[in-house]
Amino acid sequence: MKPRGYGFLLLLLHILKAAIALEQTNIISKLGDNATLSCIFNRNNLQLKNLRVYWQIADSYQKTCSVVHALMSGQEDNSKQCILFKDRTQLFWDRLEHGDFSLLLLNVSQRDRNTYKCIVQNTTEYSKVIYQAEVVLSLAVSYSQPILSGPIKNNDSTEGEVTFNCRSGNGYPKPNVYWINKVNNSQLNASKTEIISHKNGTFNVFSTLTMKATSNMQIECSIENEMLQENLSANYTQLKKSSTESDENLEKKGRGAQAAGIIGIVFVIGLLTGLICWLWRRRSSNLVSYKDVKPREDQGGLNSPV
């Protein structure tokens, strides 16, 4: 049993060594961008007609649709190419002779997140593998500019707490959310952070911060895309206390003026009513006196010709 065990271990070490020897690179692409999968076997004056270059998906579960691109004796042979890569792959023809077999993958989508393997064989030597490289393609999408809302006063809280909300979306991978008190650049803990995924794999993020209200709050919400080394932030700065006070004063003054205006109008209406009444009385009394006088005038009129 023992020797066999050791043999297995040696075999495993051998495999591991082979895996380490294989060049592996990681690249990050944004959705919809073109990605260059690199495979550089630095040799000059290569005879392309004696070479076979395969680009394939390395992941073992991917058996049915694994051929990404193939170059046989200097000719592209994409008869076995997986349909997902049709018209989306290009070799750099001017660099092939210098041993650069890098592949340009157009319009990268979520489905392209794979480990790709480039295998170069020498067809004159029993198809011996003379070079291979692996490329891990990861995807990233920038988050949208975060939107910060608040502060909203909490009804039920005793200590005058306020709530801020921050949201951003359509990014990949999952973000980190930071709340920062800009007064002293200290980090604040979110009371709740929710990350929701879309069908297309991207995420939306909603975060809530609850804190004690202070006199000059300066709050920043920052959405970090670690893969892209990108931080997008939105901030809130409370208006100066004095300005809000003067606003209140202005409001008070405004209300005062309004009240004065109303009182003035009522006063003028009263005055006008009084005046009208007085005029009416005078007119009535004139009428009375006119009536009183009229018969006399008539009399007089009648009298005078007589």
Interface contacts to ligand NAG, rule CB under 6 A: 31-34, 46, 50, 106-107, 109, 122, 124-125, 130, 141, 154-156, 170, 178, 180-184, 186, 189, 198, 200, 202, 214, 222, 224, 229, 231, 235
The smaller minimum CB distance to ligand NAG, of residues 25 and 181, is found at 181
The smaller minimum CB distance to ligand NAG, of residues 25 and 182, is found at 182
Minimum distance from residue 2 beta carbon to ligand NAG (Å): 41
In 3D space, the residue among 114, 92, 94 whose CA is nearest the CA of residue 29 turns out to be 114
The smaller minimum CB distance to ligand NAG, of residues 37 and 46, is found at 46
Bin 265: left if φ > 0, else alpha if -120 < ψ < 50, else beta. Answer: alpha
The smaller minimum CB distance to ligand NAG, of residues 64 and 184, is found at 184
The smaller minimum CB distance to ligand NAG, of residues 67 and 180, is found at 180
Cα 93–Cα 64–Cα 30 angle in degrees, nearest 5: 55
Q: Give the CA distances from residue 193 to residues 170, 196, 206, 283, in Å, rounded to whole numbers and listed in that order.
A: 16, 10, 6, 81
Measured CA to CA, the distance from residue 287 to residue 68 in angstroms comes to 113
* Run of H or E including 258: helix 241-303
If DSSP codes are grouped into helix, strand and coil, which group holds residue 188? strand
Helix, strand, coil percentages, rounded to 5, for the chain: 30, 40, 30
Minimum distance from residue 214 beta carbon to ligand NAG (Å): 5
Minimum distance from residue 140 beta carbon to ligand NAG (Å): 11
The smaller minimum CB distance to ligand NAG, of residues 75 and 229, is found at 229
Tokens of 130: 């003379």
The smaller minimum CB distance to ligand NAG, of residues 14 and 153, is found at 153
Minimum distance from residue 49 beta carbon to ligand NAG (Å): 11
Minimum distance from residue 180 beta carbon to ligand NAG (Å): 6
Minimum distance from residue 219 beta carbon to ligand NAG (Å): 10
The smaller minimum CB distance to ligand NAG, of residues 229 and 304, is found at 229
If DSSP codes are grouped into helix, strand and coil, which group holds residue 194? strand
What DSSP letter does each residue of 30-93 carry, written as one string? ETTS-EEE--B---SS--GGGEEEEEEE--TT--TT-EEEEEETTEE--TT--GGGTT-EEE-T
Minimum distance from residue 236 beta carbon to ligand NAG (Å): 8
Minimum distance from residue 228 beta carbon to ligand NAG (Å): 8
Tokens of 34: 């073109």
CB 163 within 8 A of CB 205: no
Tokens of 37: 């999968």
